[in-house]
Each structure stands twice: as C-alpha cells, then as structure tokens.
Amino acid sequence: MQNQDEIKRLKDVVQQLLDEAKQQGASAAEAAFSVDNGLSVSARMGDVETIEFHCDQGIGVTVYFGQQKGSASTNDVSADSLKETVKAACSIARYASPDDYAGLPDPELLATEFPDLDLNHPWAIDAEQAIAIAIECENAARFYDKAISNSEGASVNSHQGTRVFGNSLGFLQGYQSSRHSISCSVLAGTGDNMQRDYWYSVARNSALLEAAQYVGEKAAKRTLARMDARSLSTRQCPVLFAPEMASGLIGSLLGAISGSSLYRKSSFLLDSLDTQILPDFVRIHEQPLLVGGMGSASYDAEGVATKARDIVSDGILRSYILSTYSARKLGMQTTGNAGGVHNLTVESGEQDFAGMLKLLGTGLLVTELMGQGVNRVTGDYSRGASGFWVENGVIQYPVEEITIAGNLKTMLRNLVAIGTDVDLRGNIRVGSILLEQMAIAGE
C-alpha cells in the first residue's frame, strides 16, 4: 500500500536538487530524500516509561565535476535551503582531489522494473494501545514464574518511511516501507545469581507480529533457562551457533567479501573468488525481490537493479559484494549492493533445532556473544560467549564466562550443518550453524 502523493512530493524535491546541480555547473548529480514517522513506547514494572513520536526527514545531494565529488545534506525543504545545499556540495567538489573511480553507475545497470514488494503496512495504533500491548507483554514475562525478580521493560515500536532516490541519468524512484516490533527483557534470581534474557518479534505487517503474551513468556523462559550457569574448563569441542548468533557469523563472512575490505586489502578472503571457502553443500544467495522481506528492494542505494544471485554455491565463492565505486577500484562491475545485501539467504540442510542438537552430540550451544573480537584481516575470531553445555544431543546446563576462539577461514571450511530453524527477523536469513570444533577458554 503505497501513498503515491507522498512519493510524488519527495520526487519533486529530489528533481529540484538535480536541476539545481545542473544549473550550478555539475556534470552529474544524485540526490535522496527520506521521511520517517513513528511511535515508540516502553513500559517497566507495569508503568509507562517512555512515549516518543518520531518525525524525521533528511535530504542529501552529491555532485560531480568530472571526477571531483562533493556532498551536502539538509533537513529543510525550502527552495533557498535546497539551493544552498547544492551550492555547498558544488563548493566541496571544486576543491576535492579528482578520483578516477568516482561517478554515477553505468546507465544500463540502473533498475527499470519496480514490482510491488508489499513492504508498507501502516499500523493504526495510538500511544494508549501501544502502552497496553507493552504492559501485557511485560506482565506475561514478570508473572510467568516467581523466580523472575526484575524487568528491563517491554517496548512497542511502529515506523513508516518514504524514500526517494534520483540521479542525473534520468533515474527517479521511491517507495514506502514499514517496520513494527514488540520486545521484552527480564531478570531472574537474586544477588550474585542473576540472569537476564530477552525476546523480540519484528515484521513489516503488524498482523504478523508474535502475540505480546508469547513474546513476554518466551523472554521469561529464556531467562529462567540461564539460571545457575557455570563456566567450563578449557577445551576443544564442537560448537552450535543458535540462529540469531549464526547471522553474526555470516555477517563476518560478508564483511570479508565486501568491496571496501577487498580494495583496502583488509580481508582474510583476499583473492578468494572462485575458490572453495565453505563445504560443498553450502549455498548462500540473495533474494532481493521477496514479497514482504525485511531486506527486499528492486534497486540499491545507487539505483542499480538488484537481482537474485548466488554468492556462494557448492561452497565456492562466486561473487563479491560490490558498489559502483568498490567495483571500479577492483576492475569489476557493481553487484547492486551499494548499501548492503538484500535478504541474504543461507540454504538450510534437513535438521530442525532438535536434530542439530543431536548432530552436535557433546559440545557447546552458543546463544549469546559479547565483544567485537573479529579480526577481518587475519580472520582470527575470539569472543565472550554464553549458552548451554550439551551431552548426547540433550541440553545439560547453562554456561557463562567463557571465550570461544578460532580462525574464520578454518571455521567456515569446517562447517558441519545448517538447521531449518531459520531466523526471519533480519536481512540475513539463516538457521543454526554447527562447526566441527572451536577452542573454549574457561576456568
């Protein structure tokens, strides 16, 4: 459900910017205008904590004088402001050093088809209704068990945005999208024996959100499951990443094959195109035109058409993740990934979560990671972790205060299985991931 009048209003502003850039002597230009509206409420211990109404807008323009580039931004849509913003961008460009790789995409790569991807579902909810949902969610968690001793609160968010992008090659398109969520976080136990955990649901259509009671109860169950956690002795063992942790693992892989890492030579996967980086059963692909997907888009941040494509197939790296600039730096062509990937999908194997635990046998299930211990240059990986110790496919007890370590290159090659328990809440769609072995540092 797209509001064409609102999209047209933004298109008119973007066209004004492009016309003004031409008038001020720019050889090429691109501009974007985004407007976001939303409601966020949070409740804690049964009371309203915050109510926020959002209404933000931002306008950005980039101009080129040959290979010289300048950018400026504003949130004022008046004619004088638009003129001044373009003037500022032109002034920067005239003083900038020429960059052989700067410029707009090749015209033939721009999107020409714009299917309705069903991304916009406004939620007719007011603050009072949102508060009621947040309190219901938190109460479901707080009163689930007497061991739940405190709460970090529950929140309800509803956002809708309109985005328009255009350039001097004649591209001018826009769309609207929505994103709604319910979340809850609670604590259990007392004194030194306290644990916290959370749960959340997110969807473009509020009708597809998990019920407030379910989100609250799930947060409570996850928190209670962590009670009486202990450390492990230092060892090597198989490690199973829960789906929400597996997406971070795949994110590290994406960072290593992104254009900026590659042309800066700061990646452990330099010169890995067409080589085996994962076991031969692994396929990773983009699905940008999924109806209702959290990462769906028919064009990227430069207007380049997106398309379904394999990034890894048969375990072999088939493509990098490139924008126009990074592609030119590498002597390649953009992959339509300016601004990131679109519904990156890691194909599942045959095992559900219970099946993945059986495959793990005896080892560590990781449900939370701490710290940023990933070295993209060397692939060295070391992060604080908590989760559960598993024996013979059955969870035995919760684990905390440990560090898991390995090298991403080896970890990826030694991937054993990918579960069907896919987390669909984000742009990376992946189930749990079982790795053959990692080092655990504990007591």
Q: How far is CA 188 from CA 216, 320, 323, in A?
A: 13, 45, 46
What pLDDT sits at residue 409?
96
Question: How many Å apart are CA 113 and CA 217, to the nearest integer?
Answer: 44
Kindly state the tokens that stand for 188.
Answer: 């259990």
Encoded amino acid at 422, one letter? V
What pLDDT sits at residue 190?
83
Question: How many Å apart are CA 251 and CA 412, to the nearest integer?
Answer: 12
DSSP letter string over 168-190?
A: TTS-EEEEEEEEEEEEEEEEEEE
Is residue 214 domain-shared with residue 358, that is, in the same domain?
A: no
Is residue 74 domain-shared with residue 94, that is, in the same domain?
A: yes
Of 101, 251, 125, the residue nearest 181 (C-alpha)? 125
Is residue 221 domain-shared with residue 233, that is, in the same domain?
A: no
> What residue ranges of the chain have pLDDT lower than 70?
none
Is residue 337 domain-shared with residue 441, that is, in the same domain?
A: yes
Q: How far is CA 30 from CA 35, 249, 302, in A?
A: 17, 34, 8
What pLDDT sits at residue 372?
83
pTM: 0.94
Contact 151, 166 (CB under 8 A): no
Boundary residue ending a domain (180, 201, 225):
225
Question: How many Å apart are CA 440 and CA 360, to the nearest integer?
Answer: 15
At 74, which helix (H) or strand (E)? strand 68-74
Boundary residue ending a domain (190, 225, 260):
225
Of 57, 55, 56, 65, the residue nearest 14 (C-alpha)? 57
Full residue range of the structural domain in which residue 166 is found: 4-225
Phi, then psi, of 144 in degrees rounded to 5: -70, -35
What pLDDT sits at residue 373?
85
Q: For residue 207, what are the β-bridge partners?
A: none
SS3 (DSSP) at 366 = strand
Question: How many Å apart are CA 14 and CA 33, to the nearest integer?
Answer: 7
What pLDDT sits at residue 48?
96
What pLDDT sits at residue 443?
81
Is residue 148 domain-shared with residue 269, that is, in the same domain?
A: no
Is residue 279 domain-shared with residue 373, that is, in the same domain?
A: yes
What pLDDT sits at residue 397?
97
How many separate domains does the chain show? 2
Name the pairing type of β-strands 316-317 and 344-346: unpaired
Is residue 154 domain-shared with residue 216, that is, in the same domain?
A: yes
What pLDDT sits at residue 2?
76
Is residue 69 domain-shared with residue 25, that is, in the same domain?
A: yes
Contact 168, 23 (CB under 8 A): no
Is residue 90 domain-shared with residue 32, that is, in the same domain?
A: yes
Is residue 63 domain-shared with residue 212, that is, in the same domain?
A: yes
Is residue 397 domain-shared with residue 295, that is, in the same domain?
A: yes
CATH of the domain at 111: 3.30.2290.10
The pLDDT mean for the chain works out to 96
Is residue 211 domain-shared with residue 355, that is, in the same domain?
A: no
What pLDDT sits at residue 308?
97
